[in-house]
A and B are shown apart, each in its own frame.
Chain A
């Protein structure tokens, strides 16, 4: 559970960007007609004004989007002295490449990144397991008590995450009935993540769109429910599985408060929790290179898989409609 599940997740899917295909279609349309018409483009004000705004905006977006990352890289390979005295000068004392291996070894960025990966992958597994099996029952098997469960799941969507923050923490300290203490185990992050209403409802909506005739045909061919699930429903749901996976991984990568509460053991903390903690005791140059390493992974992944990323997230937009 993040501190703001509804918002984060819905906003996450809201990134219903333009899927590649849609964008192409739109550009074709835009070539026919946008807000600004070809007649407008002849007018001098538009003719010179538009490129000017465009250049200014481009500079703005580059400074805001790339600037901090480049600065972080610059500072990651500078001496602390340089960072503090001239944050905008380029390496007056030379480039300090050794900062990066130093940060890796002394700040143990590697193991924190590893924890982040373990948390993200584990959350992904539990989330997919719970939301596919759950959606399968609610959408395909449709038992009599199905609508009750759907209603209860839907109801949690209305309640903001803040209401269950403290009781959820107490649940982790001592699981009712079993009495287990999940604090300082990865389960404390993996399991609450799986209880996300949004994922289940999105998955159910997608399963609902699978033609019933296919399911009936498989039943007539003698497929058991398990086989129906693994051989028909899951393979047909790859797009939505991709979307839910992406949103889950991004969500758990960004989460701060919850892992801070349930993983007090420094050896298990993900990078987002560890960085502020080590910030006070690490010299500024190593801090910067540690932060650079922490940013590197998601940024590189985003740039490489940009298309899949945008298409995948965009797909959830289509589902919501």
Chain B
């Protein structure tokens, strides 16, 4: 008897000590997190992987189709164009959007009393809701000779340009707006990094006869190299998933010149109703971005420890 009752007794005592030590309240406190993540984070990720192997249009019952979604997506004639466009967007965003904030930040950090004005003013575009900014710039890019940009360029005898209606100019025009919207925020990040630059090194560099530019190049930039690389990666991850700008500016046109991969995913899912193909392409894009974000993670870890 005694032998038999002991385990039950022990486990009951186990339950009570577990209860007393806060085991139950741990579970209650963890419930909101676990439930929201199950439904809106972990669940959808797993479901995305499953969906990419299924045929699903919400009407008929989903059926397994193996790799056919992937082969459909990879052989879609629109994909090469969309990939090139996305890479082109990323490249242009890098060319336009990379030096401007860096220059702005280095310059602002040299201003003693008035730096904050530049700070606030250059951050203003980031406060404008992106949708409003896009609609506004869309109007600025009016292709007629009375369009705002064409009027200004007309003063110098240039244009009129077709801007968003031209398949050559549409993407640079979109990137220009995106740079305008993002430069201030990026500059502020660099500015924060610049506060950590060791100023005594400037003294040493100057004694060694380094001019201002060489001091910027050999002292300032190497010290914020970490944050520069991180911003580069973040920008790449962001630009690979660009949607709102091409969607609202051009809808992917003219001649698919601004169709990005995310726009293609949107069309598959919400216009064609082919959720399988849409998730298959999402998974492929996510794989590429995963590599980038793993690199990002290890870089931030390495740089935050040093």
Check if A108 is an interface residue, CB within 8 A of chain B: no
B37 to chain A, nearest CB (A): 5
Check if B75 is an interface residue, CB within 8 A of chain A: no
- Is the pair A152, B148 in contact by a Cβ cutoff of 8 Å? no
Check if A121 is an interface residue, CB within 8 A of chain B: no
Given A3-B243, A195-B36, A166:B215 Cβ within 8 A: no
Report the separation of the CA atoms of residues A17 and B270 in the bound assembly, to the nearest whole angstrom. 39
- 8 Å CB contact of A261 from B56, B215, B270, B289: B270
List chain B residues, Cβ under 8 A from A166.
48, 51, 265, 269, 275, 278-279, 282
Which stretch in B77-85, B104-112, B159-167 binds the other chain?
B104-112
Report the separation of the CA atoms of residues A215 and B39 in the bound assembly, to the nearest whole angstrom. 32
Check if A26 is an interface residue, CB within 8 A of chain B: yes
List chain B residues, Cβ under 8 A from A37.
202-203, 206
- Is the pair B243, A192 in contact by a Cβ cutoff of 8 Å? no
List chain B residues, Cβ under 8 A from A84.
146
- Is the pair B129, A295 in contact by a Cβ cutoff of 8 Å? yes
Question: What are the interface flags for A265-284 relative to B under an 8 Å C-beta threshold, 1 for contact and 0 otherwise?
Answer: 00000011101100100001
- Is the pair A15, B188 in contact by a Cβ cutoff of 8 Å? yes
- Is the pair A54, B244 in contact by a Cβ cutoff of 8 Å? no
Given A6-B293, A33-B202, A168-B40, A130:B241 Cβ within 8 A: no
List chain B residues, Cβ under 8 A from A129.
32
Check if A115 is an interface residue, CB within 8 A of chain B: no
Which stretch in A93-101, A133-141, A206-214, A238-246 binds the other chain?
A133-141
- How many A residues touch the partner, as a band? 35 or more
Report the separation of the CA atoms of residues A16 and B304 in the bound assembly, to the nearest whole angstrom. 14
- Is the pair A160, B286 in contact by a Cβ cutoff of 8 Å? yes
- Is the pair A65, B125 in contact by a Cβ cutoff of 8 Å? yes
CB-based nearest B residue for A54: B111
A84 to chain B, nearest CB (A): 7
Report the separation of the CA atoms of residues A281 and B140 in the bound assembly, to the nearest whole angstrom. 19
Report the separation of the CA atoms of residues A320 and B196 in the bound assembly, to the nearest whole angstrom. 14
Report the separation of the CA atoms of residues A253 and B152 in the bound assembly, to the nearest whole angstrom. 32
Question: What are the interface flags for A16-43 relative to B under an 8 Å C-beta threshold, 1 for contact and 0 otherwise?
Answer: 1110001100110111111111011000
Check if A237 is an interface residue, CB within 8 A of chain B: no
- Is the pair B32, A86 in contact by a Cβ cutoff of 8 Å? no
Check if A53 is an interface residue, CB within 8 A of chain B: yes
Question: What are the interface flags for B196-234 relative to A under an 8 Å C-beta threshold, 1 for contact and 0 otherwise?
Answer: 000110110010000010011001100000000001001
Check if A7 is an interface residue, CB within 8 A of chain B: yes
Which stretch in B2-10, B19-27, B88-96 binds the other chain?
B19-27
- Is the pair B22, A141 in contact by a Cβ cutoff of 8 Å? yes
Check if B174 is an interface residue, CB within 8 A of chain A: no
Check if B290 is an interface residue, CB within 8 A of chain A: yes
CB-based nearest B residue for A297: B129
Check if B135 is an interface residue, CB within 8 A of chain A: yes
Check if A236 is an interface residue, CB within 8 A of chain B: no
Check if A249 is an interface residue, CB within 8 A of chain B: no
- Is the pair A36, B110 in contact by a Cβ cutoff of 8 Å? yes
- Is the pair B129, A271 in contact by a Cβ cutoff of 8 Å? yes
B79 to chain A, nearest CB (A): 15
- 8 Å CB contact of B40 from A1, A11, A15, A149: A1
- Is the pair B293, A160 in contact by a Cβ cutoff of 8 Å? yes
Given A33-B202, A84-B146, A291-B132, A133:B237 Cβ within 8 A: no
CB-based nearest B residue for A127: B36
Question: What are the interface flags for A173-205 relative to B under an 8 Å C-beta threshold, 1 for contact and 0 otherwise?
Answer: 101100000000000000110110100100000
A-B contact pairs, 11 of them (CB 8 A): A3-B262, A7-B235, A11-B189, A11-B234, A18-B191, A34-B110, A35-B212, A134-B33, A153-B37, A166-B265, A306-B120
Mark B residues whose CB is within 8 Å of A. 22-23, 25-27, 29-34, 36-37, 39-45, 47-48, 51, 56, 58, 104, 106-107, 109-113, 115-125, 127-133, 135-136, 139-140, 142, 146-148, 151-152, 180, 184-186, 188-189, 191-192, 195, 199-200, 202-203, 206, 212, 215-216, 219-220, 231, 234-235, 237-238, 240-241, 243-244, 247-248, 262, 265-266, 269-270, 275, 278-279, 282-283, 285-286, 289-290, 293-294, 297, 304
5 smallest beta-carbon distances between A and B, as pairs: A134-B33, A164-B44, A163-B286, A7-B238, A167-B47
Give 12 A-B pairs besides A57-B104, A87-B142, A256-B244 with Cβ atoms closer than 8 angstroms: A34-B110, A54-B111, A65-B123, A68-B125, A84-B146, A137-B26, A156-B45, A226-B25, A256-B131, A271-B129, A272-B129, A291-B132
